[in-house]
Structure 1
Amino acid sequence: MPTSIRTLAALALTAVLAHQPATAQELDRLVVHKSPTCGCCGKWIDHIEENGFAVTPVDVADLGQVKREHDIWPAYRSCHTAVGEQTGYIFEGHVPARIVARFLADPPADAKGLTVPAMPVGSPGMEVGDRFMPYEVLLLQKDGVTRVYARIDSPEQQY
């Protein structure tokens, strides 16, 4: 193949690859606001990083203030708040990495983020042996309305 054709082929391939969609993990770094003494927050961070996400943990003394700043109502709160560094999307509590990735790949209109209220036993970071409590991942909308985004009925559905 002549050099000019190889050069054109390389340029065409570069242009095609440059327009490939990014994976969800490449879309945003998560800044995780947490208590410095909370072990389950650290375990959730391990889970999210093991699934390809970049994380910046931030220990804070007043998590309530972080939640108020992001308008997370008390009924939807958990032990840590992750915020997309670029998108501003919120991931409150023990949201499974695969659900975060699905959300980032195609965020619903008017979405503010996702939450797993409280701390369900068996959710990522809340593992206790083989115990598991089914739970829902809720979509937080900008207008304050929530709806079920995903139901997690078994440990396998999280991964």
Structure 2
Amino acid sequence: MLLIAVGVTLAATVAAWLSEPAIGPGVANVVVYKRANCSCCHKWVTHLQDSGLVVSVQNVSSTQSIRSKLGVPDELRACHTAQVGNYWVEGHVPADLIHGLLTEQPRDVRGLAVAGMPIGSPGMEGAGAQTYEVMRVTAEGKIELFVERQGATSGL
């Protein structure tokens, strides 16, 4: 009987351990690089935090060097860049897609991007919200449409 109880306890402990996120509590799993005076970047960071992501913000004079280091294509440039584990995120990418990167850990993806600053994307909510594209960059560097989203008129 004792052996069964120990086995059940051990199984429950292992199951709980395996269900924990790979990144522990309090550790930044998203590092955002942005210019200090960018208000939409702050709203996007709040969007990420509200979704449960732990975010660290680095204010920089320019995001170009981090984009180059991470391999973000110039044609996908936006106002901020983030590093999420082994991936990069450029622009106003919705938090649920970032959660998907962390959960699925696709090997054939380098990063996700919302180019420019489309009205209605997270952090850019407002009148005149538009449908916007979230692009995926493959491990080979190919830019592909990942998903289209309808922008929100209000949010944060």
Matches within 5 A, 1:1-159: 5-20=4-19, 22=21, 29-84=29-84, 87-128=85-126, 130-155=127-152
User: Given the superposition, is the C-alpha separation of residues 14 and 116 from structure 1 closer, same or farther in structure 2, using an over 3 Å criterion?
Assistant: same
Amino acid at match of 1:139: R
Aligned length: 153
Amino acid at match of 1:49: Q
Provide the C-alpha distance between the structure 2 equivalents of 1:139 and 1:82, rounded to a whole number of angstroms. Answer: 14
Give the match's secondary structure for 1:44.
helix
User: Given the superposition, is the C-alpha separation of residues 9 and 59 from structure 1 closer, same or farther in structure 2, using an over 3 Å criterion?
Assistant: same
Structure 2 residue ranges without an equivalent (≥5): none
Provide the C-alpha distance between the structure 2 equivalents of 1:15 and 1:25, rounded to a whole number of angstroms. Answer: 16
User: What is the TM-score normalised by the length of structure 1?
Assistant: 0.83
1:2-58 CA distance string (max 9 Å, x none): 655433322221122223363899797011000000000000000000000011100
Provide the C-alpha distance between the structure 2 equivalents of 1:13 and 1:142, rounded to a whole number of angstroms. Answer: 37
Give the match's secondary structure for 2:111.
strand
* Bigger mean CA deviation after superposition, 17-26 or 119-128: 17-26
User: Given the superposition, is the C-alpha separation of residues 8 and 107 from structure 1 closer, same or farther in structure 2, using an over 3 Å criterion?
Assistant: closer
Deviation at 1:63, TM superposition (A): 1.3
User: Given the superposition, is the C-alpha separation of residues 8 and 25 from structure 1 closer, same or farther in structure 2, using an over 3 Å criterion?
Assistant: closer
Counterpart contact for 1:23–1:105, Cα < 8 Å:
no
Give the match's secondary structure for 1:19.
helix
Alignment RMSD (CA, Å): 2.7
Counterpart contact for 2:35–2:80, Cα < 8 Å:
yes
User: Given the superposition, is the C-alpha separation of residues 154 and 93 from structure 1 closer, same or farther in structure 2, using an over 3 Å criterion?
Assistant: closer
1:43-90 CA distance string (max 9 Å, x none): 000000000001110000121122122222221010000102xx3300
| Sequence identity percentage | 30
Provide the C-alpha distance between the structure 2 equivalents of 1:88 and 1:15, rounded to a whole number of angstroms. Answer: 26
Counterpart contact for 1:123–1:155, Cα < 8 Å:
yes
User: What is the TM-score normalised by the length of structure 2?
Assistant: 0.85
